[in-house]
């Protein structure tokens, strides 16, 4: 992952040092379990932990150099660990284990820690959206369908619906964490032929993982679920960012991204204030979504194991998680700082729309007089077309139409914004208990 989009805390979790440190901890815990079960001599585990190497840049370099010889990363890791310990007890390192025991279990540790971070990030986004929903529930804005004026809604309703979706993303991330918080130390093809199941149980308990049956590798549907949770979270951010982009357009102007002191919108045109954050979020969501397909394809491996998934996961898992953290945090900042223009929004409702946003209300009012729905529809449709063509207020056209048999009181009610939005509180009711 390029540093531009890599949050430091998440990047650190997927550094070579972090990966090899997790693998070393699996090996050391396995020796503790072997001693506890009477397989390894008393004192072995303490001696190994005391002699364990520091996993730093020099250690990583030594493993890389050894891998150039072994052409096997885990074998190189074990060789360097045993050599750096420099004691006879080092022969107990990796005793009865296969590479995937260590690699998969260590990866599960990395992923659970990373998902804990993403769950917190997602919760902060939910909280930010909920706060904006509550603060703006009474600010009216034109609702649009197919990009066209439809009926009135409120900014708060928009924020609330995105909040509910982000909350579902948070729940999906939590389920993905539960699914990936598993480990296996069951040896070649997963039959415990050279290792006691009690060792797996001990190591997993110490790491906060659940031991599960496996082939030589953990089933990859678990990892695909992580990628799916990342992709859906990014898709929600993309949906919100798309709304920001659409409402930011010059001819709409109902919202604007926060603009910092000294910021420049364009290198050539000083007047520009482009929605660059929202555009960036839409672009990165495409990348995260693209990583899901390789993750799904990793589910199907040959027999008890192959390594066609390994090279894929070295890229897609760290990148997806780091990018997801980046977009969740950027989205939270965007939500918090998004500037609304209630006056422009009201202008679109009252003037630009010509009052056409109340067409359904007029339709239903005519039906209530006993008119057939089709006849009422044609009258309203004709009046709307005239209003658009002549740029006249919709109500004015209706009042001049002898077939639109509605008195002033009925029209007042049909064009009453407060009546249309009377149930907006239900959006806030749905947020109860989220934050």
Is 52 part of a structural domain of the chain? yes
435 residues of the chain, pLDDT tens digit each: 899 999 999 999 999 999 999 999 999 999 999 999 999 999 999 999 999 999 999 999 999 999 999 999 999 999 999 999 999 999 999 999 999 999 999 999 999 999 999 999 999 999 999 999 999 999 999 999 999 999 999 999 999 999 999 999 999 999 999 999 999 999 999 999 999 999 999 999 999 999 999 999 999 999 999 999 999 999 999 999 999 999 999 999 999 999 888 888 888 898 989 999 999 999 999 999 999 999 999 999 999 999 999 999 999 999 999 999 999 999 999 999 999 999 999 999 999 999 999 999 999 999 999 999 999 999 999 999 999 999 999 999 999 999 999 999 999 999 999 999 999 999 999 999 988
Q: Is residue 430 part of a domain?
A: no
Whether residues 229 and 140 share a domain: the answer is yes
CATH of the domain at 70: 1.10.275.10
Q: What is the pLDDT of residue 155?
A: 98
Asked if residue 429 is part of any domain, the answer here is no
| Cα–Cα dist 162/133, whole Å | 9
- The verdict on 79 and 117 lying in the same domain is no
**Count: domains in the chain:** 3
Q: Is residue 303 part of a domain?
A: yes
Q: What backbone torsions phi and psi does residue 150 show, to the nearest 5 degrees? A: -120, -90
Catalytic residue chosen out of the listed positions 266, 300, 308, 311: 266
DSSP result, 242-260: HHHHHHHSTTT-SEE----
146 is known as an active-site residue: yes
Residue that is last in its domain, among 344, 375, 390: 344
Supply the pLDDT for residue 379: 97
Say yes or no: 304 and 396 in one domain.
no
Specify whether 77 is located in the same domain as 106: no
Pair (371, 288) in one structural domain: no
In a domain, 424, yes or no: no
Which range marks the domain in which residue 337 is found? 99-256+271-344
In a shared domain, residues 189 and 278: yes
Residue 265, domain member (yes or no) = no
Q: How far is CA 99 from the centre of its chain?
A: 31
Residue 95 annotated as catalytic: no
Among 92, 123, 143, the domain boundary falls at 92
Say yes or no: 311 and 233 in one domain.
Answer: yes
Both 317 and 178 in a single domain?
yes
- pLDDT on residue 140: 98
Q: Are residues 200 and 181 in the same domain?
A: yes
Predicted pLDDT of residue 266:
85
Gap between the Cα atoms of 37 and 114, Å rounded: 32
CA atoms within 13 A on the CB side of 162: 30
CB 393 within 8 A of CB 353: no
- Please state, in angstroms and rounded to a whole number, the distance separating the CA atoms of residues 361 and 128: 34
List 42, 146, 271, 303, catalytic entry: 146
Residue 404 and residue 312 share a domain? no
Within-domain flag for 422: no
Judgement on whether residues 64 and 196 belong to the same structural domain of the protein: no
**Domain holding 181: CATH number?**
1.20.200.10
Judge whether 83 lies within some domain: yes
Domain C-terminal end among 66, 92, 118: 92
Asked if residue 366 and residue 289 are part of one domain, the reply reads: no
């Amino acid at each position: 992952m390029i540093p531009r989009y890599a949050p430091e805390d998440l990047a650190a979790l997927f550094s070579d040092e972090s990966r090899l440190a997790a693998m070393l901890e699996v090996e050391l815990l396995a020796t503790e379990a072997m001693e506890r079960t009477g397989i390894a001599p008393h004192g072995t585990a303490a001696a190994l932990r005391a002699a364990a190497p520091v996993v730093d840049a020099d250690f990583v370099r030594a493993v890389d150099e050894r891998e150039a010889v072994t052409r096997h990363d885990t074998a190189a890791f074990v060789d360097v660990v045993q050599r750096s310990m420099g004691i006879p007890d080092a022969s107990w390192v990796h005793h009865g284990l296969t590479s995937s025991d260590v690699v998969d279990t260590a990866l599960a540790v990395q992923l659970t820690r990373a998902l804990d971070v993403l769950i917190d990030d997602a919760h902060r986004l939910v909280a930010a959206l909920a706060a904006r929903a509550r603060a703006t529930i009474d600010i009216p804005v034109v609702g649009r369908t197919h990009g066209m004026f439809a009926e009135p809604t409120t900014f708060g309703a928009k924020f609330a619906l995105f909040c509910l979706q982000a909350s579902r993303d948070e729940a999906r991330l939590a389920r993905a964490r539960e699914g990936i918080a598993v480990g296996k130390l069951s040896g070649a093809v997963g039959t415990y032929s050279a290792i006691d199941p009690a060792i797996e149980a001990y190591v997993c308990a110490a790491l906060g993982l659940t031991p599960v049956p496996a082939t030589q590798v953990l089933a990859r549907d678990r990892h695909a679920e992580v990628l799916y949770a990342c992709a859906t979270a990014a898709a929600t951010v993309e949906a919100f960012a798309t709304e920001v982009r659409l409402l930011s357009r010059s001819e709409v102007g109902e919202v604007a991204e926060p603009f910092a002191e000294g910021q420049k919108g364009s290198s050539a045109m000083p007047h520009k204030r482009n929605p660059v954050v929202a555009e960036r979020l839409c672009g990165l969501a495409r990348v995260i979504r693209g990583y899901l397909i390789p993750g799904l394809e990793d589910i199907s491996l040959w027999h008890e194991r192959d390594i066609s998934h390994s090279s894929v996961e070295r890229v897609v898992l760290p990148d997806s998680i780091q990018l997801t953290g980046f977009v969740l945090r950027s989205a939270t900042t965007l939500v918090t700082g998004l500037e609304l223009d209630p006056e422009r929004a009201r202008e679109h409702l009252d003037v630009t729309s010509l009052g056409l946003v109340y067409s359904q209300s007029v339709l239903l009012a005519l039906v209530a007089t006993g008119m057939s729905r089709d006849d009422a529809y044609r009258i309203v449709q004709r009046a709307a077309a005239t209003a658009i063509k002549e740029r006249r207020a919709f109500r004015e056209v209706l009042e001049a139409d002898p077939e639109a048999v509605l008195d002033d009181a009925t029209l007042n009610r049909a064009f009453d914004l407060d009546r249309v939005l009377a149930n907006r509180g239900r959006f806030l009711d749905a947020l109860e208990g989220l934050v």
